[in-house]
Amino acid sequence: MATKDKRIDDYIAKAQPFAQPILKKMREFIHKACPEVTETIKWGMPSFEYKGPMFGMASFKQHCVGGFWKSKLLNDPKNLLGERKAQGGDAMGNLGRMTSIKDLPSDKAIIDFVKQHMKLNEEGIKVEKKPVVKKETIVPKELIAALNKNKKAKATFEKFSPSGKREYTEWITDAKTEATRDKRLAEAIQWMEEGKPRMWKYMKEYKK
């Protein structure tokens, strides 16, 4: 029998007005497809489990996200998850950035993904982890120059772990255009001046 967590009720109630129907709808299709689902809160966000982690969702100031734990193993012939993640830009989760209930895939598609995930969890199939290959982080000259002009940002960057430095570095170097690179560089300096890591938007301690 399904169990509901009051903390998720509270989470939805505190979300932005645009986000509430999206969160409610995602919760609804999870329960519809998997009556035995269990709700909980993980990393400060609503999480749904069935014989292991299955789905998570979150709400931010201007968008919502949702994602399947084992999305890479799901049969997705129309590439709904891949396309939506690409459309979402930097949004976490494989449903992409959602600002309206219309941004969700069809109920039929989502329910199919849930049922696939249930079977994966029932059979104990896990996502195969790729071996971690450590690589040297090469800081671009543009970032070095900008950091040298901002003592606070530079101090923050120097305190980061190698992975923390790499997140900012790759974000800037992966920009497709010069305008995007300059925009990301400016944001990176501002965030580091405030002592924030690259993915601060998704970290509980930085949520307001």
If pLDDT is split at 50, 70 and 90, which confidence band does 82 have? low
If pLDDT is split at 50, 70 and 90, which confidence band does 12 have? very high
Residue 71 has pLDDT above 50, yes or no: yes
- Give the integer Cα–Cα distance in Å for 176 and 172: 9
Secondary structure (3-state) at 114? helix
**Six token digits for residue 71:** 């999305």
- Give the integer Cα–Cα distance in Å for 126 and 69: 10
Q: Which residues contact 181 (CB under 8 A, 6 or more apart)?
A: 142, 172, 173, 175
Residue 181 vs residue 136, higher pLDDT: 181
Residue 83 has pLDDT above 60, yes or no: no
**Six token digits for residue 72:** 């890479």
Mean pLDDT along residues 148-177? 93
Q: In sequence order, what are the beta bridge partners of 102?
A: none
Residue 115 vs residue 71, higher pLDDT: 115
What mean pLDDT is reported for the chain? 87
- Give the integer Cα–Cα distance in Å for 157 and 148: 11
The CATH architecture assigned to 6-122 reads: Alpha-Beta Complex (3.90)
Q: What is the DSSP letter of 3?
A: B
Q: Each residue of 38-67: b (16+ CB within 10 Å) or e?
A: bbeeeeebbbbbbbebbbbbbbbeebbbbb
- Give the integer Cα–Cα distance in Å for 202 and 61: 11
What does the pLDDT look like over 54-65, one tens digit per residue?
999 999 999 999
- What is the reported pLDDT for 90? 43
**Six token digits for residue 181:** 């690179």
Domain residue extents for the chain: 6-122, 141-206
- Give the integer Cα–Cα distance in Å for 121 and 66: 18
- What is the reported pLDDT for 27? 95
- What is the reported pLDDT for 126? 85
Helix axes 178-193, 162-173, angle to 10 degrees: 150
Residue 66 has pLDDT above 50, yes or no: yes
What does the pLDDT look like over 95-141, one tens digit per residue?
888 999 999 988 899 999 999 999 999 998 887 766 666 667 788 89
